[in-house]
Amino acid sequence: MKTALYSPSSSTRTKLDDRRNANEKALTTCRGCAREGSRTILDMGRLPLANALLSESQLGDAEPKLPLVLAFCTGCSLVQITETIPAQLLFRHYVYFSSFSDTVLDESRELARRMMRMRGLDGKSRVLEIASNDGYLLQFYKEAGIPVLGIEPAENIARVARGRGIRTLCQFFGRDVALQLQREGQQADVIHANNVLAHVEDLDGFIWGLQRVLKTDGIAVIEVPYVKAMIERLEFDTIYHEHLSYFSLASLTRLFEARQLMIADAEQLSIHGGSLRLFVEHTSKRAVPTQRVEELTSGERECGVAGFEFYEGFASKVQRLKERLTAQLKALKANGHRIAAYGASAKGTTLLNYFGIGGEILDFVADRSTVKQRLYTPGTHLPICAPEKLLETMPDYVLLLAWNFVDEILEQQKEYRRRGGKFIVPIPEPRVI
């Protein structure tokens, strides 16, 4: 998932402190339908920003903590958090590279090949990606001789992508950028938007821009976290301040239809714990949704995803998970076992801070990303180390915070496991591997 590694400067921290103490931008109307009226699903109190990793010199500073409340819109059924952190503060500078994950690269390579076959793309086609990161996906199109354009708001990441030969526009995508591209004749045959729609405050503006930039016979491939999977699998830790919205097929259909776009096809993915991949086209094509769309829609209807009753009980289930996991970790610690964690991820920040798991339980967090190493986790201030430290120190157990990449990480840590090390996967219920 392309989450931002965000380390606030002192001026940014002052702005966030001002919001924390006075004028917090709490949601009053729905991001999807602009109506008032929502019901709380889960209130996690005040938590630090998920990717606000700290340098050693920042450990003594006060950390901004903001409300993290998940709510359900009674008008359009969109699930969303009630606080909005300005995107300029979160995404202008971050150093998470999608290319650090083998799973993401493999999925991207296969998706690019699939779209090239399906759409008959060639050197006269154009592929555009919104939130293109370091060119992890567009590189596969470029290698095939297909013109590409990335739109990436993080200045440092955009420079890296350009260095790899990926033409990249360093801006936030929305109405203005869409009009600019349209005027320049840069409409696309294929548009990718992976794990970015959830970060967008102005959903209608984003989709309006998408409709303008997509060629009349083009297709947009959009991946979003799937709220049905999040609720059913108790994936509460995927809730953090960067993720403003959590989508069902029903809520997405309403958003796209309002801008003359339709979900022609959809598929459920296992990556990131459960995602939806949408294939969106202009309604003017008069396409008929596939059987997969009908099946997903039927499944949501049967479960009642569009009604609040589906979300009742989620908070109490999370509380029971908290009690079970913390009791297990405390018992292991009391018996003399050494415990570390793996994955300095956004979801890890939510889990550790909401469950109150810190240095009294965990010795350190291992992470493959070299740009996160030698920093510290938000709120809990755990040192982030290279994965090699697992073999150097051989903790008895490792709490797997990046559980969405469990297979990849277990494969990478075969030697640690061969020597007797064990992983604890916390979601949807604690299990030891």
The helix or strand, by DSSP H or E, that contains position 138, with its residue range, turns out to be helix 138-143
Distance CA 185, CA 156 (A): 27
Among 10-14, 259-263, 385-389, 407-411, whose mean pLDDT is lowest? 10-14
Quick check: is 46 in a domain? yes
Check whether residue 213 and residue 95 sit in a common domain: yes
Q: What is the pLDDT of residues 336-350, one digit of tens each?
A: 999 999 999 999 999
Q: Which residue is listed with tokens 């297909």?
A: 146
CB atoms within 10 A of CB 165: 13
Quick check: is 34 in a domain? yes
Q: What is the pLDDT of residue 11?
A: 43
Distance CA 107, CA 137 (A): 9
303, 332, 350 - which closes a domain: 303
Residue 179 has pLDDT above 90, yes or no: yes
Check whether residue 254 and residue 381 sit in a common domain: no
Which comes out higher in pLDDT, residue 18 or 66?
A: 66
Residue 21 has pLDDT above 80, yes or no: no
Check whether residue 142 and residue 253 sit in a common domain: yes
For the entire predicted model, the pTM comes to 0.88
262, 282, 303 - which closes a domain: 303
Check whether residue 342 and residue 294 sit in a common domain: no
Mean pLDDT, range 194-198, rounded to an integer: 93
Check whether residue 11 and residue 116 sit in a common domain: yes
CA 385 vs CA 185, 218, 406: distances in Å: 47, 44, 18
- Of 419, 393, 408, which is closest to residue 100 (Cα–Cα)? 408
For 395, the domain range is: 314-432
- Tell me the residue length of the chain: 433
Q: What is the pLDDT of residues 45-74, one digit of tens each?
A: 999 999 899 999 999 999 999 999 999 999
Mean pLDDT, range 96-119, rounded to an integer: 83
CA 240 vs CA 27, 176, 270, 432: distances in Å: 15, 27, 20, 26
Check whether residue 8 and residue 137 sit in a common domain: yes
Check whether residue 296 and residue 364 sit in a common domain: no
Mean pLDDT, range 339-363, rounded to an integer: 97
Residue 29 has pLDDT above 50, yes or no: yes
Among 273-277, 297-301, 412-416, whose mean pLDDT is lowest? 273-277
Quick check: is 309 in a domain? no
| Total structural domains within the chain | 2
Q: What is the pLDDT of residue 8?
A: 44
255, 275, 303 - which closes a domain: 303
Give the pairing of strands 339-342 and 65-73: unpaired
Asked whether 366 and 389 are in contact (CB, 8 A), the reply is yes
CATH number, position 63: 3.40.50.150
Residues of the chain above pLDDT 90, percent? 79
